[in-house]
Amino acid sequence: MASSSSTASTDPQLIISHKFPETTLTYTERDVALYALGVGACARDPLDEEELKYVYHKNGQPFVKVLPTFAAIVSMGAMGKLEELQGLKYDPRLLLHGQQYIEIYKPFPSSACVSFDYNSCMLVAQYDSGSHGALLPPDIENRSVVAGFHDKGKAAIIDIETTSYDKGSGEALCKNRSTIYLRGAGGFSKSSSPFTYSNYPADQASVFSPNIAWVVHGFLPFGAIIKCLCNGEPTMVTSIFGRLLLHVYPGETLVTEMWLEGSRVIYQTKVKERDRAVLMGYVGLKQATSSM
């Protein structure tokens, strides 16, 4: 596949071997509570017994609980680092967040100072008043890597994968993989076979067509879905996957359908006014939920 003039200097080997610099993110209980409110916690009933714990210290509860989808917020800094990738040529105005995959291993603290080491893809909490119940925080390291890079002709797809660890114990907290669609950045392959690279299982691979370029909305239904499925127990969630399919306009109504397949809840979100699917994916559970 011949390189176009706009992508002639794209070097895939430089991209997949890139060492990300360390950065720091701080979040507090206020951020955690605002996130929960933003995805619908206590929206219908401000005294909802199952949702108050995400926004309020209910009945002597020392700290607010963290919705498992908050893990996606922690990793969002990765997409802002694309401009630092040596060898990657693209127009940031044409960048689209195509899909998100999350594995959750342990609950997140309700507040932390998080240090990201994108060389190895890590997150570090220097202050924790959350789920670990200690004034002195565990360090949480985020190790991030370029997990995938693909030439799709008129576009390129890049996967940034971040795994977050408790530095003291070495235990993993969660893993995020953000799949980013770069319109106009393809056509850089030096041979007739398009360049493709990934370091994760084939059954988790990105499957995109150029039509995905029109995906422009966010992952708001993610948190709402988990809130409905948790039955008051967020630790039952083990993994989350979501693929953005179509744009959403302000004021439109989103309707989410869910059904159970083994230990996975498959979901699809549609725009009511247009009867079009805009988001699909699944949520992995430790066990099937009786509410389904």
Beta strands in the chain (DSSP E): 22-27, 95-104, 112-117, 121-122, 140-151, 155-166, 172-183, 196-198, 237-244, 254-261, 264-271, 276-285
The C-alpha atoms of residue 171 and residue 105 are separated, in whole angstroms, by: 9
The C-alpha atoms of residue 198 and residue 177 are separated, in whole angstroms, by: 12
**pLDDT (tens digit per residue) in 150-194:** 999 999 999 998 887 776 677 788 888 989 999 999 999 988 899
- Residue range of the domain that includes 133: 12-285
* pLDDT at 2 (0 to 100): 40
The answer to whether residues 260 and 245 touch, using CB atoms and an 8 Å cutoff, is: no
Which one-letter amino acid corresponds to residue 100?
Q
Residue 5 domain-assigned (yes or no): no
Residue 123 domain-assigned (yes or no): yes
Across residues 126-142, what is the average pLDDT? 48
Task: Indicate the pTM of the whole model.
Answer: 0.78
H-helix or E-strand containing 224? helix 220-229
The C-alpha atoms of residue 206 and residue 243 are separated, in whole angstroms, by: 10
Given a cut of 70, is residue 209 above it in pLDDT?
Answer: no
Residue 197 domain-assigned (yes or no): yes
Kindly state the tokens that stand for 163. 């795994």
Q: 49: how many CB neighbours lie within 10 A of its CB?
A: 10
Residue 4 domain-assigned (yes or no): no
Kindly state the tokens that stand for 280. 């699909």
**pLDDT (tens digit per residue) in 49-103:** 778 888 887 777 788 888 888 887 776 665 666 877 888 989 989 998 888 899 9
Residue 143 domain-assigned (yes or no): yes
* pLDDT at 216 (0 to 100): 32
The C-alpha atoms of residue 216 and residue 98 are separated, in whole angstroms, by: 9
Angle between helices 29-38 and 220-229 (to 10 degrees): 90
* pLDDT at 37 (0 to 100): 87
The CATH number of residue 190's host domain is 3.10.129.10
Residue 35 domain-assigned (yes or no): yes
Residue 290 domain-assigned (yes or no): no
Residue 7 domain-assigned (yes or no): no
Among 146, 188, 157, CA closest to 10? 188
Number of domains in the chain: 1
* pLDDT at 211 (0 to 100): 33
